[in-house]
């Protein structure tokens, strides 16, 4: 070539733009970051999918266990309902026996119990084994067993601080032996609330959770 663009020497001029090293370095760093993020994301996905089955299995196991507990609680609840089938006060015959030196106390107490629906049996002084020997509110006496215990529980709602005992009687009647600390029957509202609590006990927290 001649003229203005004459080539001299042994080297030829470069015909392309020089490389930009800064861009190359940035592109390399971007590629490394992308690869790193991709690898991390892949590991997370593997953990999620591999742990999903075990989590579901654990959840199923927990659900099964919870279901078993709820079934047990339901059985217990039925048992509680059975135990809560208490006799009506009108079917409980009460013998009122006065172990104090206060005259007429047995009759007045029997009258109050009758007003509250109880059936009154014998009204008399207490036998020698109790006479002047009961310091608290009184003693509730009845036959052993579920029926006797149920009758005594119903009668016990009418008093505060009375002891419960069992003897070898064969009948269904129960005794209330009046003690020295006896003043009067429990307030009627309190007695009704106590009777309701016996007949309809509240469920435990565990049973409430099962309902949820």
Which residues, including other chains, have CB under 8 Å from residue 191's CB and lie 6 or more apart?
116, 157, 158, 185
Which residues, including other chains, have CB under 8 Å from residue 118's CB and lie 6 or more apart?
89, 90, 92, 93, 94, 155, 158
Predicted confidence (pLDDT) per residue in 146-182, tens digit: 999 999 999 999 999 999 999 999 999 999 999 999 9
Main-chain phi, psi angles of 53, to 5 degrees: -65, -40
Three-class SS state of 168: coil
Lookup: tokens for 23: 């861009």
Predicted confidence (pLDDT) per residue in 98-121, tens digit: 999 999 999 999 999 999 999 999
Predicted confidence (pLDDT) per residue in 25-51, tens digit: 677 777 766 666 666 666 665 565 565
Predicted confidence (pLDDT) per residue in 65-91, tens digit: 455 555 455 444 434 444 447 999 999
Residue 18 has pLDDT above 90, yes or no: no
For 108-117, 118-127, 203-212, which range has the lowest pLDDT when averaged over its residues? 203-212
């Amino acid at each position: 070539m001649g003229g203005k663009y004459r080539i001299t020497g042994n080297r030829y001029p470069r015909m392309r733009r020089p490389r930009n090293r800064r861009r190359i370095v940035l592109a390399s760093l971007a590629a490394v970051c992308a690869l790193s993020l991709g690898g991390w994301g892949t590991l997370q996905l593997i953990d999620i999918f591999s742990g999903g089955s075990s989590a579901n299995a654990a959840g199923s196991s927990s659900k099964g266990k919870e279901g078993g507990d709820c079934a047990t609680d339901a059985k217990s609840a039925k048992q509680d309902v059975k135990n809560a089938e208490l006799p009506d006060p009108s079917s409980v015959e009460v013998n009122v026996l006065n172990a104090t030196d206060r005259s007429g106390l047995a009759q007045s107490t029997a009258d109050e119990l009758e007003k509250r629906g109880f059936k009154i049996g014998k009204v008399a002084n207490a036998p020698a084994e109790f006479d002047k020997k009961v310091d608290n509110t009184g003693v509730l006496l009845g036959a052993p067993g579920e029926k006797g215990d149920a009758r005594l529980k119903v009668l016990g709602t009418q008093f505060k601080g009375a002891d419960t005992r069992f003897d070898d009687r064969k009948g269904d009647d129960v005794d209330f032996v009046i003690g020295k600390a006896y003043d009067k029957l429990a307030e009627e509202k309190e007695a009704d609330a106590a009777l309701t609590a016996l007949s309809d006990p509240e469920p435990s927290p565990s049973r409430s959770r099962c309902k949820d």
